[in-house]
Amino acid sequence: MPPQAIRKLQPGRLVIASHNEGKVREIRELLAPFGIEPVSAAELDLPEPVENGTTFYANAELKAMSAADLSGLPALSDDSGLCVEALGGAPGVYTADWAEKRAFEGGPGRDWYMAMGKVEGKLAELGPDVSRSAYFACTLALAWPDGHVEWFEGRVHGTLVWPPRGRRGFGYDPVFVAQGETETFGEMDPARKHAISHRAAAFRQLVDAVF
């Protein structure tokens, strides 16, 4: 798809196209200084679209476009995940799927401790000298009701630890230590995480472009 001209985002309501409370909380905090009135997809009772894309870009776009179309407002979505070097980039775009509970696991719902355990189990199968390098990737898609979309991507590289540490953050945060840090994202003060995370990196690009 050819690049589109950057469109500025005006003050007012903006749908955060996510039902993930952790993501919504982080994005609200990042948007706070810009005169934006964030409202979540859950608050508007918008349905969750099927995330059948095979890339972060595709899933971010479909979520943002769905929310913008249904609400008549600009919408911002995030598709992000953990990419583990030794696992060929998995879980990657299927990061949330690894946390899905099946019927015999007490589903439906997501169990992030189970997901972290799956990653650790697969690394253990590869032996004690396996690389524990990983990165978090985030793609933000900003869509308008007329179909215009902008995309922004950020990454943060680091290593995986076990067992999980810390109760802050969400998802795989308790097993990820960013380069140059000693605390996991699950231990880190939220303000520090916002300064260095993959989501913050993508958000800085968005701010530079549309505000």
From the candidates 45, 69, 78, 79, which is the catalytic residue?
A: 79
Active site residue 173: no
Instruction: Please enumerate in sequence order all residues whose Cβ is within 8 A of that of 104, keeping only pairs 6 or more positions apart, or say none.
Output: none
- For residue 47, count CB atoms less than 10 angstroms from its CB and return exposed for 0-12, middle for 13-18, buried for 19 or more: exposed
Distance CA 200, CA 154 (A): 7
How far is it between the farthest Cα atoms of the chain? Answer: 52
Q: Which amino acid is at 94?
A: Y
Q: Which amino acid is at 120?
A: E
Backbone angles phi, psi at 104, to 5 degrees: -75, -5
The full length of the chain comes to: 211
Distance CA 104, CA 82 (A): 25
Rg (CA), the chain: 17
Distance CA 46, CA 18 (A): 9
Active site residues: 79
